Amino acid sequence: MNPRHILAVTKKDIKAELRGKETLNFMFLFSFISLLMFNFATDPYSPTLKDVAPGFLWFVFIFTGMLGLSRAFLKEKETGTLEGLQLAPLSKEDILYAKIIYNLLLMLAIEAVAFPLFIVLFNYEIQGSVAEALIVLTLGNIGFVIVGSFMSALVMSARSRELVLQIIVLPLLLPVIILTIIALRKVMIFAEPLLTIGEIKLVVSYVAIMAVLSSLLFEYILEE
């Protein structure tokens, strides 16, 4: 692992994305429109809304993230630059780490806009600490981005890869998704602090296992 290499690749991706903004724009519009749909589908005065809204929020993030994920490796593969990276003397895992960081930044950027939008649209008042809610969200994101980036590289040579990607990523992330929703609901509904510590611990350990597996197995994805 060479932080300089990782940083260089991430920086390159961000720069290229900011020039074209293709993925970012799509992701933002998608998250906006799906939040609106969910909002339209629910009654704003319904007492159960407070219960289900955190789940909506998380699903919007997941499916928006999925859009970005499938691009990160695919674009390098389509333009052939993935080979350029493999020709350079950097370890293969560093490419994965760079993409993970890049995807995480993309997701956080979207969420920075979508989260306030959610609060406004659903007229939501977070009862617990906002910081705790953000920690839970970010942790969930990290887990999602690690498994997602790895799998998006894996499905590169499959047919209808965007579909296959979702079919693979969602089950593997089921524990993270469920735990994050539970934790998010707790933070948003109850005022008591640190109620989510149990879920946080579980998410961290699960994600750690996924991270170790990803870095161990990544070389087999690029190997031919």
In angstroms, give the least distance from the CB of 214 to other proteins.
Answer: 8
* Complete DSSP assignment for 15-66: HHHHHH-HHHHHHHHHHHHHHHHHHHHS-TT-TTHHHHHHHHHHHHHHHHHH
Handedness of CA 62, 222, 13, 139 (dihedral sign): positive
Q: Which stretch binds other proteins (CB under 8 A): 2-10, 32-40, 52-60, 111-119?
A: 2-10
Q: Which is nearer to other proteins, 22 or 192 (CB)?
A: 22
In angstroms, give the least distance from the CB of 81 to other proteins.
Answer: 5
Full 3-state SS string of 154-209? HHHHCCCHHHHHHHHHHHHHHHHHHHHHHHHHHHHHCCCCCCCHHHHHHHHHHHHH
In angstroms, give the least distance from the CB of 24 to other proteins.
Answer: 13
Selected from 25, 51, 84, 194, the binder of other proteins by CB under 8 A is 84
In angstroms, give the least distance from the CB of 33 to other proteins.
Answer: 26
Q: Which is nearer to other proteins, 116 or 171 (CB)?
A: 171
In angstroms, give the least distance from the CB of 192 to other proteins.
Answer: 17
Q: How far, in Å, CA of 182 to CA of 52, rounded? A: 10
174 binds other proteins (CB under 8 A): yes
Q: Which is nearer to other proteins, 47 or 89 (CB)?
A: 89
157 binds other proteins (CB under 8 A): yes
